[in-house]
Amino acid sequence: MVVEGAPADLDLGAVRAFVAVTEDRYFSEAAARLGISQQAVSKRIAKLEADLGVRLFYRSRNGAALTDDGRVFLHQARALVGIADQALDMLRGRRRALRVDVLDTRLSSVDLVQAFHESEDADIDVTTSNGLRSARGALVRGSVDAAFARVSGPLEEDLRSVPACLEPLHLLVDRDHPLASLREVEMERLSGSAVWMPGNASGSEWAEYYRLFGAAFDLRIDDRGPDFGWDHFVKEIGAGGRIGIVGETCRVPWHPRTVRIPLIEPWPVYPSSLLCHRQNHHPVLARLIQFVEGRFRPFDPGRQWLPEVDRAAFTGTY
């Protein structure tokens, strides 16, 4: 068999149709085996013959019989289909944990992942990164299956965003602070204050959130100083002279000199979304998305505060 010109890119579906017709002899029976129409089988065979530049079958009342070129091609065709089937079986049978990326294991997103793991008995690997900046590339490359982050700006076309949670914010002060004895603190009482947030990395989605947060409530966000971690942060707050803000479920280390108080009127909330690639078909991912959608509670503009840019994605019923 001689094929002139550049090598053809064989359509595996057409090769599979060729093998089916060879084994069943009739296009109608091959179509039933493949779950497609007889016309579709005819089109695939015609395309394969055009790509190869040869005739593969003689048609007669007794069915389809192989030509000499067809007999030569049959062995390789069966090998191609066999290799493809082995590859599919290997991937389908591969049991890999769902890889989920989070910003920090102390944050609310980890509680959500843990609750899913416990309710679904799902095998999950949790990784940490620097948020949206690295998660986008990791999702596109397939090195992670899902990521939790605040979405800032447009996403790549192949990425999907699902609202995950709106976490209320808490104030951290030292025990001698004038607000330390309160059970709740109204946002207007913080007007004119400086909030210490040394972990607000430039260009991050959370730094943008707190910039908008500060502008809305007349707060100055002080991001000076190295970020030595949560223990150092809580210790410095407890030493007096500074105030901080953390999420309601953020598991900050306990310190005897640090007090944690909910912020209210309005309740400022930090938005997090579940991100994934639209072409990722990991079987556990669909269950995680369904779990997140079932637990999400939409933004309440009458009680909560969100930056204007986040509101549309977090308003509605899911």
Structural domain boundaries, residue 50: 12-93
Answer yes or no: do 128 and 26 share one domain. no
Answer yes or no: do 124 and 248 share one domain. yes
User: What six digits make up the tokens of 184?
Assistant: 């709740």
For 123-155, write each residue's pLDDT tens digit. Answer: 899 999 889 989 999 998 888 999 999 998 888
**When comparing pLDDT for 307 and 154, which is higher?**
307
Answer yes or no: do 107 and 213 share one domain. yes
CA 81/CA 74 separation, integer angstroms: 11
Question: Which one of 69, 93, 117 terminates a domain?
Answer: 93
Closest C-alpha to 64, from 84, 48, 51, 87: 48
- In this prediction the pTM is 0.71
Q: Average the pLDDT over 265-294 and give the result.
A: 95
Answer yes or no: do 237 and 113 share one domain. yes
**When comparing pLDDT for 264 and 122, which is higher?**
264
- Give the pLDDT band (50/70/90) at residue 173: very high
Answer yes or no: do 258 and 297 share one domain. yes
Question: Which one of 93, 125, 152 terminates a domain?
Answer: 93
Answer yes or no: do 112 and 82 share one domain. no
Average pLDDT, the chain: 91
Quote the percentage of the chain above a pLDDT of 90.
Answer: 70
In this structure, is the dihedral angle defined by the CA atoms of residues 99, 129, 135 and 268, taken in order, positive or negative?
A: positive
User: Quick check: is 161 in a domain?
Assistant: yes
CA 302/CA 267 separation, integer angstroms: 10
- Give the pLDDT band (50/70/90) at residue 289: very high
CATH of residue 68's domain is 1.10.10.10
State the total domains in the chain.
2
For 186-229, write each residue's pLDDT tens digit. Answer: 999 999 999 999 989 888 999 999 999 999 999 999 998 888 99
CA 229/CA 119 separation, integer angstroms: 31
User: Quick check: is 2 in a domain?
Assistant: no
User: Quick check: is 132 in a domain?
Assistant: yes
Question: Which one of 70, 93, 116 terminates a domain?
Answer: 93
pLDDT, residue 8, reads: 63
